[in-house]
Amino acid sequence: MRIAITADHNGVALRARLVEWLAAEGHTVDDRGGAPDAASVVDYPALCADACAEVVAGRADRALVLGGSGLGETVACNKIHGIRAGLCHDVWSAGISRGNNDANVLVLAAKTLAPRAAEEVVATWLTTPFKGGVHARRVAQIAALERGDPLP
């Protein structure tokens, strides 16, 4: 799978670990950078826009965005047409974000998620298929909201 990844200053160390881990798992990783180190404070909206653009353009299958709490990053990512970003703190939420919501961007809270736990969350998120069915109808409704269309 082609995965774009970025991180603000809070996620620098976790980004480095996940880039290495993802590559070892056989994924093609596009490290989009972000903060060069933990001391270089950066604004996350531009990082989110960059990683999400890779998904929207089809250059990446999915993206990982790492921030401190991940809350602002999730809001920013979900402002981009075609993106369904989920902030996941555990394997359960990762499974739901993919299985029910067909999320194409995973946001992680680097300040609260241990590196090994992050790998487990990412592994679950990458391997959980979208369930379709009633969930496809709901994802279509989300897309309608994004377009500004009325819901039935």
Tally the domains of the chain.
1
* Alpha carbon 35 to its chain's center: 17
Q: Which domain holds residue 83?
A: 2-147
Report the alpha-carbon distance of residue 135 to residue 96 in Å, rounded.
Answer: 11
How long a stretch of residues is the chain? 152
Taking the CA of residue 130 as centre, how many other CA atoms within 13 Å lie in the half-sphere pointing to its CB?
13
Contact 70, 48 (CB under 8 A): no
Distance set, CA 138 to CA 5, 14, 17, 102, 152 (Å): 27, 32, 34, 10, 11
Block means of pLDDT (10 residues each) for the chain, 152 residues, are 97 97 98 90 95 98 98 98 98 98 98 97 98 97 95 84
Question: Could you tell me whether strands 62-67 and 2-7 are parallel, antiparallel, or unpaired per DSSP bridges?
Answer: parallel
pLDDT for the residue 37: 87
Structure tokens at 26: 């056989």
- CATH number, domain of 76, equals 3.40.1400.10
Q: Is residue 152 part of a domain?
A: no
Structure tokens at 128: 């959980």
Strand order in the sheet with 85-87: 28-34, 2-7, 62-67, 105-109, 85-87
Q: Is residue 46 part of a domain?
A: yes
Q: Is residue 80 part of a domain?
A: yes
pLDDT for the residue 79: 97
pLDDT for the residue 77: 98
Q: Is residue 140 part of a domain?
A: yes
Q: What is the pLDDT of residues 58-84, one digit of tens each?
A: 999 999 999 999 999 999 999 999 999
pLDDT for the residue 152: 76
Report the alpha-carbon distance of residue 121 to residue 105 in Å, rounded.
Answer: 13
